[in-house]
Chain A
């Protein structure tokens, strides 16, 4: 074995060891690297008590409500399984919309709602012109109608329960 081949093997081996160490460390830190937890995690009692943390999910359709003072808003964050009501007083980002991703930082209040100090919009990976977006939306609506029709009129139509985009 020539010395340069030995060196090459040594470099490869060292890289493999570093990679394994990094994988183990990152795996151990897994929950700390995650930026936010889901409403399901909160419902399961995984939220830290009395400490700031972030929750993430989709803004539930039709849940945004403004209080009488005009600056306090209330909305529901959902992961389509569990919901969490969020209260927030402040400026909202441009991309904050119903049905879109959101990440909010704050604390759990006594009554089980979430009081946010910061609300961030989470963008998805879809980039398209408005016409294309409309076409996709129409197609979704048609599919939903078809599904509702095929399930029969007996079942009550679930209004506004369009499937959220998988992008969040």
Chain B
């Protein structure tokens, strides 16, 4: 019974607000440290690729951004399911706080891919299954943000947005497995949980950058969710207390 009490305790905006505030500097610092280490390893230590020369180094941005674009969507869909089933206030705020970061990651993934594709493949863009499904993911993020912004009542906005997120979640496995299921121009995945077809330092640089992006996403989402909380809960006593007592 105590465990359940604790869960509800942290699911309440009044307790989550100061907790997120205290955690933000830690995640931000971790992001900077991972980023510096990852960039050092990726740009200075990792060897030149035998076919692509130096151009391959874009993977240190491209692959972490693509991973995060898919992962953030899964997290948002998870919160959306929780929100629809349990009617919790925090879940809708979390999905809204994560959406812009997810969209940024999808955008980065597409752009860095295009910049790499022009010299390596010979084209900026091709309508293959991997690229097209990632573009759909970007549209899903933008569509979610537009839908939520278009509905005035925040609870209704959360419900509508949550439904869109849940319907769209089917796209994530399609993105991930597209290179296995169909002929695509995009290469197969170099790294998964059991194998890697990359040189070791390249792999470590990429993993460090992935950690950097991950920590960044958490820090930014927490900062965003705090402002959303203040706005949505502005009529409650805890927000009034915070505003009266200054920033905490």
Which residues 111-134 of A have a CB within 8 angstroms of B?
118-134
Max chain A C-beta neighbours (<10 A), residue from B84, B119, B187: B187
Shortest distance from the beta carbon of B188 to any chain A beta carbon, whole Å: 5
Query: B51 contacts A132, CB within 8 Å?
Result: no
Contact of A15 among B166, B187, B188 (CB under 8 A): B166
Q: Decide if A150 is an interface residue (CB 8 Å cutoff).
A: no
Query: A123 contacts B85, CB within 8 Å?
Result: no
Shortest distance from the beta carbon of B114 to any chain A beta carbon, whole Å: 13
Known: A14-B166, A125-B188. A7 touches B49 (CB 8 A): no
Q: Decide if B246 is an interface residue (CB 8 Å cutoff).
A: no
Q: Decide if A19 is an interface residue (CB 8 Å cutoff).
A: yes
B175-218 to A contact mask, C-beta < 8 Å, 1/0: 00000011111011110000001110010000000000000000
Query: A127 contacts B183, CB within 8 Å?
Result: no
Query: A35 contacts B81, CB within 8 Å?
Result: no
Q: Decide if A95 is an interface residue (CB 8 Å cutoff).
A: yes
Query: B187 contacts A124, CB within 8 Å?
Result: yes
Q: Decide if B90 is an interface residue (CB 8 Å cutoff).
A: no
> CA of A82 to CA of B10 in the docked complex: distance in angstroms?
63
> CA of A129 to CA of B53 in the docked complex: distance in angstroms?
9
Contact of B183 among A11, A19, A36, A130 (CB under 8 A): A36
Which residues of the other chain, B, contact A132 by a CB distance below 8 angstroms? Answer: 50, 199
Shortest distance from the beta carbon of B69 to any chain A beta carbon, whole Å: 19
Contact of B126 among A35, A91, A123, A131 (CB under 8 A): A35
Query: B120 contacts A95, CB within 8 Å?
Result: yes
Which residues 45-66 of B have a CB within 8 angstroms of A?
47-53, 55-56, 59
Query: B85 contacts A122, CB within 8 Å?
Result: no
Query: B51 contacts A129, CB within 8 Å?
Result: no
Contact of B52 among A11, A92, A95 (CB under 8 A): A95
Question: Can you list 16 A-B contacts (CB < 8 A)?
Answer: A11-B81, A33-B129, A37-B183, A91-B122, A93-B122, A94-B52, A95-B51, A97-B51, A121-B122, A123-B121, A124-B187, A124-B188, A127-B199, A130-B48, A134-B50, A167-B187
